[in-house]
Amino acid sequence: MRAAVDLSPFREFLTQGAVFLTPGLRLSRVMTQAVVEEQMRGGQAVTQPPTIRPVDGWLESVWRQQVEAGNLPPRRLLGRVAERRLWMQIIRADMERQANFSLIKPTAAAEQALRARQQWLMWGGNPENKTQRQYFSFDPDCATFDRWCSEFAAQLAHKGWATRADIYRSLLTVPVSSKEIVVLCHVLQLPPLTHQVLSHLASLKIPEALGEQSLLPLATQQFPSRRTEAMAIAAWAARRHRENLGSTAIVLLDFERDRPDLEYQLRREFDCLGARYAALPVNFSSGMPLSKTPMFRDALLALRLAVANEKVSLARSEVLALLRSPFLHGGEDLDGVGLLQLRKACTELSSEVIDKRDLHHLAEIYAPESHLTRALQLLRTDRATQGKRLPSLWLDTIREVLKLWQWPGRAALDSLEYQQFERLEIALDELVVQDCITGELTFQQLTLLWEQCLDDRVFQPKTDDTAVQVFGPQEVVGLQFDALWICGLQSGSLPPRAQLLPFLPNRLQHELGLLSADSAALEKSAIALLSSLRTTHGDVSASYASVQEGLEVLPSQLACAIPPHDPVNEQQAPDHWPMPSPLESLDEGNVAVAGAVIQWGGGASVISNQSNCPFRAWVSHRLGPANVATPVFGLTAAERGNVVHDALHFTWEVLKDSDSLRAMDPVQVDALIQDSTERAVQSLERRAQGRHCNIRKRVGSACLDLEVQRVAALLKSWLEFEVQREGNFYVLEQEDSHELPLGSLVLKLRPDRIDRLDDNRQVVIDYKTGSVRRSSWLGERPGDPQLPLYALLNESVEGVAFGRVHQDGAEYVFLGEALGLGVKEVPLPDQVKQYETVPIESWEALRTSWRHRLERLADDFVKGHAAIDPQPQACRYCALGSVCRYTQTADLTDEALQGGLGDAL
């Protein structure tokens, strides 16, 4: 196995007391460790390694030494968060002064301004140069930035602050009597200002062995997609790790984009997706923002709930993360019944955002004795988070709130968790230095500020050196591995495409030679990077995905595309996964039912599903899987239908018969409609409250007001239609419960409405707001047998009807004679002849036919007849398509395809 770093190019300088500067902290640590180990192997009892520092760290230490020696005035060096907030203050103040100027995203503008000034100064720009300043006047955005820069410089001078670029420029004014030797170790690119400062302070040395460059294209494997590329890399790394083939590293040229896919494939290969999640033998060197680590992520959620504002809300995903957090419940069983029910209630809420008050309410209902509920109760009465203070004065409150939540929760933290916990005081210190920038803040503002500070602090855990290492392109420079794989070597990634920075004049960027704006410089930098990797590492491989988001992608100009060494199938499972069991064939006809004497129950949907598709009936009513509803904006179709049904119910609850309807004047009718509609919406809200959901909060009061108007218009149209019915009628019952024996089934039925006519005959009415067809009641397998079932309730029923309540007009679709429901009624045989093969001469014959057919369907259900035999249209709204796979069968009929799926597609 190779050493972590090669010291041979630097040995001649080790005895000269030289300072060694590296591009990053990782290489400086590795070099220091390698020097110490080499000295110990040489027999030295006491080792004294040379100064090995990152370039920026060493220059900062020199600046502090010069300040302490009195050669430079004392100034406070701003961190990135403080510098960004200062830019924010300047931009917002400027927006208030400039009446004709505004920004949609001032935060993004502050970040861009920070970067623009930094690049301007680091690449040799000079704010005192009148020619350079003149360039800014030619563009409105650049002129605005120039105005901000003047204010920014004034603020720095007034308050004694400085940015990194400012302290580097100040170092150029320090007189240097003797220059020490500074060796640049694998430093491939330096901004002109940094190079100028180093040359002013020291005698620069670059080992000759590090200056060699290779211009040969790198053989690069071509994969059809990013996923197959990640799978191949993960399989390669896992094989090398298991077979102990030496040190292994992966370089992601686009770290943010490719890390999630690669991490998943690595976890898949190492079997670390479940209980062994923390056992992944991979170290991601770029780490992650401290705010995204599980421990600090949950701490921030707890602090947000401590804000003295009842209107604080969290996303549902954040609430569920809070309820599952092992860091906030003081060792409480997270799978206890109370917390499980609370998680279920939060999951079932329609809203994607949950208020603190709603969370507290649900917690008191489902988990009243939990630590979560006690914490929320104490926070509700706590006054410690009220008012405004300097950030440093909020630190004790942060500690008290975290203590209240018993954060970090577990007494025995694992290695990664303990490393996160160790960062707490350092992370809190970040707030202390913000006092001079922010002034007094509320606790809510402080929480947001601390999250920004944690975003800028990267957590890099210490891991086993034998682990697979994953780097960004700059972090691996200078290190040594036996095998290295470069991922994403495509056009536009290395070298990256040239891009002009906003706020800086184009001419100025080209004159200064900004790296990001110079294609030639970017290509030279990319060649230097690849040459360094080829020089310091053993076997160097590379790859790219030829298709991304449906578009063809070319390899980098520094790559030579070749086929993959080991082609990957996207559906291929890792070698350590068990082989799938062979498929078994089952007879889809009848499913045996254990037990001979069973009295099945259910509603009309049992017979409806058995008629439409026996398999759907068996799955729905025997297995009973829950159907996951599709999220919708506003009210669901079922909720809107229920409002119409309830409004009609309340209306006839008052009217009771046709005489009362005809006796009312228009004003009374309008008042009745308004009252019934409002009661229907109130009934909808009560049902939602029973599910612990506030429907008015979910859809908004405006949506409910519109629904009241819609239903009122439908109701008025319906009553105007009802008043024209021939003869008199009396509403005998509405939604009363009935039981209907049907073979071995006992069905529970609730007709919407049953009317009694003048001759004591009864008509069953079912309200519908969509399209309806008389044909759905007839045939050997009725598509909608609900009304035929109602017709069997008693001998007095001699008619059935759909009452279609629709904005296009009201109508009855019915079967029966002399019912007074239609403008033109025809004899019953003429109503059914086009749908029946055998003539039906009377109502009794029709009822007898219905009973035989429905009893046969009931017997089929009881016997377990579960054939996948859908009727046309049955598949259209069925949620079981992924179970039956009917649409994938070779003998699918054209009728089923067109009727069942064509409309849906």
From the list 471, 547, 549, the residue with the least C-alpha distance to 222 is 547
Greatest alpha-carbon span in the chain: 121
pLDDT score for 898: 45
From the list 219, 224, 207, the residue with the least C-alpha distance to 547 is 224
Q: Tell me what percent of the residues of the chain surpass a pLDDT of 90.
A: 41
pLDDT class for 166, splitting at 50, 70, 90? Answer: very high
The pLDDT of 76-104, averaged and rounded, is 84
pLDDT score for 890: 47
H runs (alpha helix) in 407-518: 415-421, 424-432, 435-438, 443-455, 506-512
Identity of the amino acid at 632: V
Q: Which of the pair, 411 or 226, is modelled with greater confidence?
A: 226
pLDDT score for 593: 52
Identity of the amino acid at 797: V
pLDDT score for 197: 95
Span 354-386, pLDDT tens digits: 888 888 888 888 888 888 888 888 888 888 888
Rounded Cα distance between 19 and 406, Å, is: 47
Highest mean pLDDT pick, 92-101, 437-446, 453-462, 484-493: 484-493
- The answer to whether residues 772 and 813 touch, using CB atoms and an 8 Å cutoff, is yes
pLDDT score for 49: 82
* Confidence check: pLDDT of 36 > 90: no
Q: Which of the pair, 836 or 903, is modelled with greater confidence?
A: 836
Q: Which of 3-7, 78-82, 267-271, 515-519 has the lowest mean pLDDT?
A: 3-7
Q: Locate tokens 């598949």: which residue?
A: 875
pLDDT score for 768: 92
Rounded Cα distance between 893 and 21, Å, is: 75
* Confidence check: pLDDT of 246 > 60: yes
| 829 cis-preceded (ω within 30 degrees of 0) | no
pLDDT score for 224: 92
Rounded Cα distance between 288 and 301, Å, is: 18
Q: Which of the pair, 893 or 772, is modelled with greater confidence?
A: 772
pLDDT score for 587: 60
pLDDT class for 900, splitting at 50, 70, 90? Answer: very low
- The answer to whether residues 192 and 514 touch, using CB atoms and an 8 Å cutoff, is no
Query: Which DSSP state fits 496?
Result: B
Q: Which of the pair, 609 or 46, is modelled with greater confidence?
A: 609
The pLDDT of 91-112, averaged and rounded, is 82
The pLDDT of 822-831, averaged and rounded, is 81
Rounded Cα distance between 614 and 302, Å, is: 51
- The answer to whether residues 545 and 225 touch, using CB atoms and an 8 Å cutoff, is yes
Half-sphere exposure of 794 (CA within 13 A, CB side): 12
Rounded Cα distance between 58 and 379, Å, is: 46
| DSSP assignments along 672-731, one per residue | HHHHHHHHHHHHHHHHHHHTT--HHHHH-HHHHHHHHHHHHHHHHHHHHHHTT-SS-EEE
H runs (alpha helix) in 136-275: 140-159, 164-171, 192-201, 226-242, 255-269
pLDDT score for 287: 67
* Confidence check: pLDDT of 215 > 50: yes
pLDDT score for 240: 93
pLDDT class for 596, splitting at 50, 70, 90? Answer: very low
pLDDT class for 152, splitting at 50, 70, 90? Answer: very high
Cβ neighbours for 905, distance < 8 A, ≥ 6 positions apart: none
pLDDT score for 5: 84
Rounded Cα distance between 82 and 34, Å, is: 37
pLDDT class for 95, splitting at 50, 70, 90? Answer: confident
Rounded Cα distance between 87 and 752, Å, is: 66
* Confidence check: pLDDT of 81 > 70: yes
Question: How do strand 468-471 and strand 248-252 relate by DSSP bridges?
Answer: parallel
CA dihedral 469, 263, 543, 187 (to 10 degrees): -40
pLDDT score for 481: 92
- The answer to whether residues 165 and 122 touch, using CB atoms and an 8 Å cutoff, is yes
pLDDT score for 688: 84
Span 545-558, pLDDT tens digits: 999 888 899 999 99
* Confidence check: pLDDT of 679 > 60: yes
Q: Buried b vs exposed e over 329-364: b needs ≥16 C-beta within 10 Å?
A: bbebeeeeebbeebbebbeebbbeebbbebbbebbe
pLDDT score for 901: 33
Span 750-792, pLDDT tens digits: 999 999 999 999 999 999 988 888 889 888 899 899 999 999 9
Helix or strand or coil: residue 111? helix
| DSSP assignments along 57-110, one per residue | HHHHHHHHHHHHTTSS---EEP-HHHHHHHHHHHHHHHHHH-TT---S-HHHHH
pLDDT class for 411, splitting at 50, 70, 90? Answer: low
* Confidence check: pLDDT of 897 > 50: no
Q: How far is CA 178 from CA 184, 202, 203, in A?
A: 19, 8, 9
Residue count of the chain: 905
Span 289-348, pLDDT tens digits: 888 888 899 999 999 988 877 678 888 888 888 888 888 876 677 777 888 888 888 887
- The answer to whether residues 451 and 81 touch, using CB atoms and an 8 Å cutoff, is no
The pLDDT of 274-293, averaged and rounded, is 80
- The per-residue pLDDT of the chain, averaged, comes to 86
pLDDT score for 704: 87
